[in-house]
């Protein structure tokens, strides 16, 4: 690390004015924008470490002063390139400085940062680039094959932070173009309802949809995330969650609001993660339950000296996971949300009375999705529209903990729209609320609990197997387009996983009439990746999976099928 010196273009001038230009005459109003955060951080804690990137040959570390300058260079370089307000700028990158920079730099140029999942196929990337009409793409060197042949200018990052890296040259060009006009030379955005981040959901039906967030929503969601996670200037946030996933739950900005230090990791590598937890003072990270399980079971796992808070979403953490985490001083905060809700929209709020409960009782309560987040408007559970009805007033289900309805959300922490898809937007916003497609009950105390998810745990031979985790592993098989796993009664083990699989269109012919062979192949694949109790006992190939109007798999329907077997 001691040999790293930021490129000259990254060094701010001495008399740096870290303030946006005032272009309106409103003394008592300013547009909410997350760009304010990096400016404040660089003003107040210029020497504090902002970004650490070490799991690479050539590690880099930036303090807030230097990072803010790089972001300013980024913005000027975009202007130099010809990026106009509202243009989309794409980024294909693992967690690395490039994508962290881009979140702030693109917004500083009043453009929309379009983060693209690195795990997609070239054809899917091509669709997103085309649909979002990206004017420029930033691509990490490892993912250049994803954009081969695309007719869009590409800036490649070799993730070195050193002179000679095309990305660094790009930033240096921005600095030069700025003619040292600094932040005051950039046109500030005055409309807080303009787009901020565009993030395509990995749609399970049809084409992916582009979720466009606003500056106002991002600002408010960030503050909520920083507040709820109790992030502050003494915090160190470790990037395990990909930044391209659901706009990184706004943590690319929330960490900066809080003056925290971020550590980026290119891959989910448990050795690296544990090294950072034990040696780098990590206090916060976001991750899905499967990653938490991997963390607990890693051979390096032991209690860090600092208290660690982990934000868990995607599925409820099990009692086993909670106990495993708390034993090593990691305290989970269970949140729920979607890309369309800027990530977390509800949180499971611990109650003082839980202190006297057993772990199992507490885990059951912690599994609930809870109540609306700090700056969110309400989350409700409503009756689905009757067959044939697509709009109209929404009616709450009774608060009985039994009646299943759909979670709908409203307010500032709901996306602006599905980009260039007014029809899907209209459908998702039917009745004046966003339809999550998640089925849930409302408990008498007003807390929401997703039904489809609480049953995702398969108790197989006394072990808790997460159907989500199994699905994730099965879906790595190249012939699997989509998979859903539910519990099926088993005479010996109590329950065993049953997988419903939709074959990849290009492989349907290959396996035609040989589904039994495919099932064997998938089981073999599973055995190499999952503990025995989590391997599917049954594999059923189906033409499609039952889904809600917004594309969520209806596990309840699958369970009905299984119950009849």
Residue 199 main-chain phi, psi, to 5 deg: -135, 120
Residue 265 main-chain phi, psi, to 5 deg: -125, 125
Which one, 31 or 120, has the nearer CB to a copy of itself? 31
Q: How far is the CB of 201 from a copy of itself (least distance, A)?
A: 16
Report the candidate in 265, 284, 283, 262 with the shortest Cα–Cα distance to residue 273. 265
Contact 259, 44 (CB under 8 A): yes
Per-residue tokens: 200: 């395509």
In 6-67, the DSSP E strands lie at 49-53, 60-63
Which one, 132 or 412, has the nearer CB to a copy of itself? 412
Q: How far is the CB of 246 from a copy of itself (least distance, A)?
A: 16
Beta bridge partners of 238: 263, 285
In 313-367, the DSSP E strands lie at 330-338, 343-347
Question: What is the C-alpha separation between 75 and 102, in angstroms, rounded?
Answer: 9
Per-residue tokens: 58: 């050539």
Q: Tell me, what DSSP letter sits at residue 547?
A: B
Q: How far is the CB of 378 from a copy of itself (least distance, A)?
A: 5
Report the candidate in 367, 334, 557 with the shortest Cα–Cα distance to residue 443. 367
Q: How far is the CB of 408 from a copy of itself (least distance, A)?
A: 8
Q: How far is the CB of 283 from a copy of itself (least distance, A)?
A: 14
Q: Specify the pairing of strand 261-264 against strand 236-239.
A: parallel
Per-residue tokens: 430: 């039917």
Which one, 30 or 162, has the nearer CB to a copy of itself? 30
Which one, 85 or 392, has the nearer CB to a copy of itself? 392
| Residues whose CB is less than 8 angstroms from the CB of residue 387 and which lie 6 or more positions away in sequence, other chains included | none
Q: How far is the CB of 432 from a copy of itself (least distance, A)?
A: 4
Which one, 204 or 436, has the nearer CB to a copy of itself? 436
Q: How far is the CB of 416 from a copy of itself (least distance, A)?
A: 6
Residue 429 main-chain phi, psi, to 5 deg: -100, 15
Q: How far is the CB of 541 from a copy of itself (least distance, A)?
A: 38
Which one, 18 or 125, has the nearer CB to a copy of itself? 18
Which one, 27 or 386, has the nearer CB to a copy of itself? 27
Q: How far is the CB of 57 from a copy of itself (least distance, A)?
A: 30
**CA gyration radius, the chain:** 24
Which one, 71 or 530, has the nearer CB to a copy of itself? 71
Q: To 10 degrees, what angle do helices 215-228 and 35-44 make?
A: 50
CA atoms within 13 A on the CB side of 233: 12
Q: How far is the CB of 524 from a copy of itself (least distance, A)?
A: 46
Which one, 51 or 226, has the nearer CB to a copy of itself? 226
Which one, 37 or 511, has the nearer CB to a copy of itself? 37
Residue 153 main-chain phi, psi, to 5 deg: -60, 140
Which one, 45 or 270, has the nearer CB to a copy of itself? 45
- Can you tell me whether residue 345 is helix, strand or coil? strand
Any idea what the Cα angle at residue 538 is, between residues 537 and 544, rounded to 5°?
145
Q: How far is the CB of 64 from a copy of itself (least distance, A)?
A: 12
Report the 10 Å Cβ neighbour count for 538: 16
Which one, 376 or 498, has the nearer CB to a copy of itself? 376
Q: How far is the CB of 236 from a copy of itself (least distance, A)?
A: 13
Report the candidate in 294, 349, 286 with the shortest Cα–Cα distance to residue 312. 286
Question: What is the C-alpha separation between 238 and 330, in angstroms, rounded?
Answer: 13
CA 396 → CA 403, 440, 554, distances in Å?
10, 11, 20
Q: How far is the CB of 308 from a copy of itself (least distance, A)?
A: 18
Question: What is the C-alpha separation between 131 and 344, in angstroms, rounded?
Answer: 26
Report the 10 Å Cβ neighbour count for 560: 12
Which one, 30 or 529, has the nearer CB to a copy of itself? 30
Beta bridge partners of 541: 501
Q: How far is the CB of 163 from a copy of itself (least distance, A)?
A: 29
Q: How far is the CB of 107 from a copy of itself (least distance, A)?
A: 17
Which residues form the interface with a copy of itself (CB under 8 A)? Answer: 15, 18-19, 22, 24-30, 32, 36, 40, 43-48, 193, 214, 217, 223, 226-227, 230, 232-233, 257, 349, 351-353, 370-372, 374-375, 377-378, 380, 399, 409-412, 414-417, 429, 432-434, 445-446
Which one, 33 or 118, has the nearer CB to a copy of itself? 33
- Can you tell me whether residue 364 is helix, strand or coil? helix
Question: What is the C-alpha separation between 501 and 356, in angstroms, rounded?
Answer: 43
Which one, 41 or 469, has the nearer CB to a copy of itself? 41
Report the 10 Å Cβ neighbour count for 423: 8
Question: What is the C-alpha separation between 133 and 162, in angstroms, rounded?
Answer: 30
């Amino acid at each position: 690390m001691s040999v790293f010196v930021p490129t000259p273009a990254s060094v701010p001038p001495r008399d740096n004015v870290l303030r946006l230009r005032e272009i309106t005459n409103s003394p008592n109003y300013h547009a909410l924008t997350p760009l304010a955060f990096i400016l404040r951080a660089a003003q107040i804690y210029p020497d504090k470490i902002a970004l650490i990137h070490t799991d690479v040959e050539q590690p880099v570390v930036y303090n807030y002063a230097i990072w803010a300058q790089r972001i300013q260079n980024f913005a000027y370089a975009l202007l130099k390139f010809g990026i106009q307000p509202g243009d989309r700028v794409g980024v294909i990158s693992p967690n690395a400085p490039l994508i962290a920079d881009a979140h702030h730099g693109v917004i500083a140029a009043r453009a929309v940062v379009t983060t693209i999942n690195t795990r997609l196929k070239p054809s899917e990337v091509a669709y997103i680039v085309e649909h979002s009409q990206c004017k420029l793409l930033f691509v990490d060197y490892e993912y250049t094959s994803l954009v081969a042949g695309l007719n869009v200018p590409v800036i490649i990052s070799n993730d070195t932070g050193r002179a000679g890296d095309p990305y660094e040259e790009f930033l240096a060009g921005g600095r030069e173009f700025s003619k040292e006009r600094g932040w005051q030379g950039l046109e500030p955005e005055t409309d807080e309802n303009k787009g901020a981040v565009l993030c395509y959901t990995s749609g399970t039906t049809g084409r992916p949809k582009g979720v466009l967030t606003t500056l106002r929503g991002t600002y408010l969601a960030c503050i909520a995330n920083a507040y709820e996670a109790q992030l502050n200037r003494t915090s160190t946030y470790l990037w395990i969650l990909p930044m391209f996933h659901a706009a990184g739950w706004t943590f690319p900005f929330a960490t900066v609001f809080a003056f925290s230090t971020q550590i980026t990791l290119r891959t989910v590598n448990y050795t690296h993660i544990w090294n950072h937890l034990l040696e780098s003072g990590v206090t916060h990270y976001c991750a899905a339950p499967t990653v938490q399980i991997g963390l607990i079971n890693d051979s390096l796992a032991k209690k860090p000296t600092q208290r660690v808070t982990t934000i868990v979403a995607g599925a409820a953490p099990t009692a086993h996971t909670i106990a495993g985490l708390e034993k090593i001083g990691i305290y989970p905060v269970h949140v729920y949300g979607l890309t369309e809700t800027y990530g977390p929209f509800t949180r499971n709020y611990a109650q003082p009375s839980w202190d006297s409960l057993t772990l199992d009782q507490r885990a059951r309560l912690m599994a609930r999705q809870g109540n609306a987040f700090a700056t969110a408007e309400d989350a409700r559970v409503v009756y689905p529209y009757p067959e044939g009805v697509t709009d109209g007033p929404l009616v709450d289900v009774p608060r009985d903990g039994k009646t299943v309805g759909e979670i709908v959300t409203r307010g500032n922490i709901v996306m602006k729209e599905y980009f260039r898809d007014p029809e899907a937007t209209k459908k998702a916003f039917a009745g004046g609320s966003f339809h999550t497609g998640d089925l849930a009950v409302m408990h008498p105390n007003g807390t929401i609990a997703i039904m489809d998810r609480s049953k995702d745990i398969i108790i197989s031979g006394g072990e808790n197997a997460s159907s989500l985790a199994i699905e994730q592993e099965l879906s790595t098989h190249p012939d699997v387009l989509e998979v859903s796993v539910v519990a099926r009664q088993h005479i010996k083990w109590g329950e065993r996983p049953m997988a419903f699989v939709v074959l990849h269109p290009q492989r349907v012919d290959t396996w035609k009439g040989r589904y039994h062979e495919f099932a064997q192949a998938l089981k073999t694949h599973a055995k190499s990746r999952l503990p025995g109790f989590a391997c599917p006992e049954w594999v059923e190939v189906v033409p499609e999976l039952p889904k809600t109007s917004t594309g969520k798999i209806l596990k309840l329907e699958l369970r009905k099928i299984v119950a009849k077997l």
